[in-house]
């Protein structure tokens, strides 16, 4: 491990030690996995990883999160959140993540207070600060800390440290919630989320590793990584037939390849999008 990364890891562990006890928002991705592992390493029983289950969390992600906690030996709990009861979330404005994280952090801060944990923490890293992240506003409002950011850890640092400690998902691609596949302004519904999840489960079953099933009403726009476009094209007939059975009338393959957050292209991020509470 490079000396700079080692010093940042030491910094992270010092931060966690000072926190004394913490509830970690554990989505099952590499960032929150490192947070959960490091918190357990430093604080032992003073650390609890919590995964929130909702219709926007793919079942495979929950299974992988549970399996990882068992493999790595950190305490893990599953709770249920109800973003769908929040009008701002269902309306799917550019502030959707704000309402989602508000729901999550309301539950986690209540849990921490009820059970005597000093802090709630997320897995945001320094790379996240350069992206459009209304969920970070919700974190600030609820006093949720981002120890990876506090320690100056980038995404590449996180992956390097996770690999060093044998966390098996150190190279796992980012996997945002299913609602992120729905363009802003199109309501988030249980039916749409189910179609997206089934489409992506099928696509991953073909061996595609990085996949997004972008939902455009009757059209499913499939994004895969550039080095997997050839594989997806080879299976175009099977993919089309399978996704039509799921309920789409049309299926397209995006030749630009997978771009995380590509639905943000519809936003003009050079100007303010307004108050996240509106």
**Mean pLDDT of all residues in 21-32:** 97
Q: Is 171 within the bounds of a domain?
A: no
Same domain assignment for residues 23 and 129: yes
Q: Return the pLDDT at 133.
A: 82
Same domain assignment for residues 9 and 130: yes
Q: Is 11 within the bounds of a domain?
A: yes
* pLDDT band at 3; cut points 50, 70, 90: low
Contact 149, 15 (CB under 8 A): no
Domain extent, residue 15, equals 3-164
Q: Is 44 within the bounds of a domain?
A: yes
Query: Which letter, b or e, does each residue of 162-190 get, where b requires 16 or more Cβ atoms within 10 Å of its Cβ?
Result: beeeebebbebeebebbbbbbeeeeebee
Same domain assignment for residues 247 and 187: yes
Same domain assignment for residues 140 and 222: no
Find residue 23's DSSP bridge partners: 48, 120
Q: Return the pLDDT at 143.
A: 96
Given a cut of 90, whether residue 9 has pLDDT beyond it is no
Q: What is the pTM of this model?
A: 0.88
Q: Return the pLDDT at 269.
A: 47
Give per-residue pLDDT as tens, 177-232.
Answer: 999 999 999 999 999 999 999 999 999 999 999 999 999 999 999 999 999 999 99
Q: Is 41 within the bounds of a domain?
A: yes
* pLDDT band at 1; cut points 50, 70, 90: low
Q: Return the pLDDT at 246.
A: 98
Q: Return the pLDDT at 162.
A: 95
Q: Residue 121: helix, strand or coil by DSSP?
A: strand
Same domain assignment for residues 38 and 141: yes
Same domain assignment for residues 14 and 100: yes
* pLDDT band at 264; cut points 50, 70, 90: low
Dihedral (Cα; 34, 200, 267, 31), 10-degree rounding: 0
Contact 51, 62 (CB under 8 A): yes
- The span from the CA of 148 to the CA of 263, in Å, is 26
The tally of domains found in the chain comes to: 2
Choice between 157 and 274, residue whose per-residue pLDDT is larger = 157
Same domain assignment for residues 38 and 116: yes
Same domain assignment for residues 19 and 79: yes
Quote the tokens at residue 269. Answer: 């991020």
Q: Are strands 47-53 and 76-80 parallel, antiparallel or unpaired?
A: parallel
**Mean pLDDT of all residues in 92-110:** 96
Q: What whole-number percentage of the chain has pLDDT above 70?
A: 91
- Last-in-domain residue among 135, 164, 193: 164
Q: Is 81 within the bounds of a domain?
A: yes
Mean pLDDT estimate for the chain: 91
Q: Return the pLDDT at 215.
A: 98
Assign residue 24 the CATH number of its domain: 3.40.50.620
Same domain assignment for residues 11 and 114: yes
Q: Return the pLDDT at 266.
A: 57
* pLDDT band at 272; cut points 50, 70, 90: very low
Q: Return the pLDDT at 267.
A: 55
Same domain assignment for residues 184 and 126: no
Choice between 277 and 70, residue whose per-residue pLDDT is larger = 70
Give per-residue pLDDT as tens, 44-71.
Answer: 999 999 999 999 999 999 999 999 999 9
Q: Return the pLDDT at 14.
A: 96
C-alpha distances (whole Å) from 243 to each of 135, 142, 240 are 31, 40, 5
**Mean pLDDT of all residues in 24-35:** 96
Give per-residue pLDDT as tens, 117-138.
Answer: 999 999 999 998 876 788 999 9
- The span from the CA of 99 to the CA of 84, in Å, is 10
Same domain assignment for residues 134 and 22: yes
Same domain assignment for residues 139 and 116: yes
Closest of 276, 275, 211 to residue 242, by C-alpha: 211
Q: Return the pLDDT at 170.
A: 95
DSSP 227: G
């Amino acid at each position: 491990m490079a000396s700079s990364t080692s010093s940042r890891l030491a910094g992270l562990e010092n931060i966690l030690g000072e926190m004394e006890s913490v509830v970690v928002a554990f989505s099952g991705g590499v960032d929150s996995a490192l947070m959960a592992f490091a918190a357990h390493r430093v604080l032992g029983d003073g650390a609890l990883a919590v995964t929130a289950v909702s219709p926007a969390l793919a079942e495979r992600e929950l299974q992988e999160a549970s399996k990882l906690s068992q493999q790595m030996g950190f305490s893990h709990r599953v709770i249920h959140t109800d973003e769908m009861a929040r009008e701002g979330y269902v309306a799917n404005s550019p502030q959707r993540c704000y309402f989602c994280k508000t729901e999550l952090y309301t539950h986690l801060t209540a849990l921490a207070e009820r059970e005597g944990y000093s802090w709630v923490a997320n897995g945001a890293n320094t790379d996240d600060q350069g992206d459009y992240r209304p969920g970070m506003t919700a974190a600030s409002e609820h006093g949720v800390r981002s120890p990876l950011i506090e320690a100056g850890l980038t995404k590449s640092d996180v992956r390097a440290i996770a690999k060093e400690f044998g966390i098996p998902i150190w190279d796992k691609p980012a996997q945002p919630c299913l609602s992120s596949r729905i363009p802003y302004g199109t309501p988030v519904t249980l039916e749409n989320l189910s179609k997206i999840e089934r489409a992506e489960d099928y696509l991953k079953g073909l061996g595609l590793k990085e996949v997004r099933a972008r939902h455009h009403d009757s059209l499913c726009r499939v994004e895969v990584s550039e080095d997997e476009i050839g594989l997806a094209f080879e299976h175009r007939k099977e993919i089309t037939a399978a996704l039509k059975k799921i309920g789409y009338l049309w299926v397209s393959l995006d030749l630009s390849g997978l771009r995380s957050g590509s639905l943000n292209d519809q936003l003009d991020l050079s100007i303010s999008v307004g108050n996240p509470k509106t």
